[in-house]
């Protein structure tokens, strides 16, 4: 079946943006910023997005050519199911550190088999977000189309990355370079010049994903950094977050107005 999810229709590398601030209008505005945007991630772990705000943003993105992804607070079955049932095209699960963690996420995210997710026939919603006639069509397409992303951001996860990548139902391994660097003792103090040890860890994640036939994603703070990781072979690349974009452009406009030289403002760097 042809996937109705915009993410799959965009060419690789698939660029996206992190949304930390709540607002359906913000989500829709970001989706219109460039035709090169494949996804917007609604960050419920470290962002300011509530359950209601998550639902509203997913609805706002439904008619666009940009996929709605949700980073859940933590990888419980309830959180994962809630995001998918709201109509999210993908879910990102933080702090996946082992094969068993990955398998638990798959069970919550996928319909039988390999998962155990129920169809939720008593409510309307998810299938309508995809322009499908009914829940039966949704169930037929969901496992192949909906995206499950697991974050690799600790030493333990790095040690088990090949086992995690091999789990059926995992679609993307996503590297969180800031948290990973802190965890392994080589923090990314300068995004333009990361420690060699951290770069080796990121390349290990990339290789594990591709060896398993999966995609590899990474969080970047700006387009220049994103270009570097695209060149290394990453498939799903964040180019900035909404807070950094807003603050940076305001700071740049103020500097230009005063004839000042300097940085454009906050780069959007953070613990991902």
- Residues belonging to the active site: 46
SS3 114: coil
SS3 breakdown of the chain: % helix, strand, coil, rounded to 5? 45, 15, 40
- The helix or strand, by DSSP H or E, that contains position 108, with its residue range, turns out to be helix 99-109
Decide: 175 and 218 in contact? Cβ < 8 Å: yes
CB atoms within 10 A of CB 91: 25
d(CA 153, CA 165): 14
Q: Where are the alpha helices (DSSP H) in 146-267?
A: 155-159, 161-165, 177-184, 196-211, 223-232, 242-257
Q: Check the CA dihedral 112-97-91-34 and report its sign.
A: negative
Burial, 8: exposed, middle or buried (Cβ in 10 Å; 0-12, 13-18, 19+)? Answer: middle
- Degrees, nearest 5: CA angle 82-205-170: 35
**Cα dihedral: 151, 153, 156, 160 (round 10):** 40
d(CA 105, CA 152): 14
SS3 14: strand
- Degrees, nearest 5: CA angle 94-95-96: 100
> DSSP state, 259?
T
């Amino acid at each position: 079946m042809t996937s109705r999810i915009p993410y799959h229709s965009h060419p690789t590398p698939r660029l996206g943006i992190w949304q930390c601030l709540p607002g359906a209008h913000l989500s829709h505005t970001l989706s219109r910023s460039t035709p090169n945007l494949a996804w917007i991630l609604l960050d419920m772990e470290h962002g300011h997005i509530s359950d209601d705000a998550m639902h509203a943003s997913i609805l706002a993105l439904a008619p666009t050519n940009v996929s709605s992804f949700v980073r859940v607070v933590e990888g419980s079955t309830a959180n994962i199911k809630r995001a998918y049932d709201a109509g999210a095209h993908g879910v990102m699960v933080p702090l996946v550190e082992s094969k068993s963690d990955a398998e638990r996420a798959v069970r919550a995210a996928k319909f039988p088999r390999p998962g155990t997710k129920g169809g939720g026939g008593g409510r309307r919603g998810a299938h309508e977000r995809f322009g499908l006639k009914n829940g039966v069509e949704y169930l037929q397409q969901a496992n192949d189309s909906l995206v499950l992303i697991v974050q690799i951001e600790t030493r333990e996860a790095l040690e088990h990355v090949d086992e995690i990548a091999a789990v059926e139902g995992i679609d993307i391994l996503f590297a969180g370079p800031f948290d990973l660097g802190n965890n392994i003792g080589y923090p990314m103090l300068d995004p333009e010049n990361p420690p060699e040890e951290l770069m080796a860890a990121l390349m290990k994640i990339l290789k594990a994903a591709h060896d398993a036939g999966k995609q590899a994603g990474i969080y970047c703070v700006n387009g220049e950094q994103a270009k570097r990781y695209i060149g290394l072979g990453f498939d799903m690349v964040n180019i900035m977050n909404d807070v950094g974009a807003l603050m940076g452009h305001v700071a740049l406009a103020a500097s230009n107005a005063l004839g000042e030289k300097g940085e454009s403002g906050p780069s959007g760097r953070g613990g991902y």
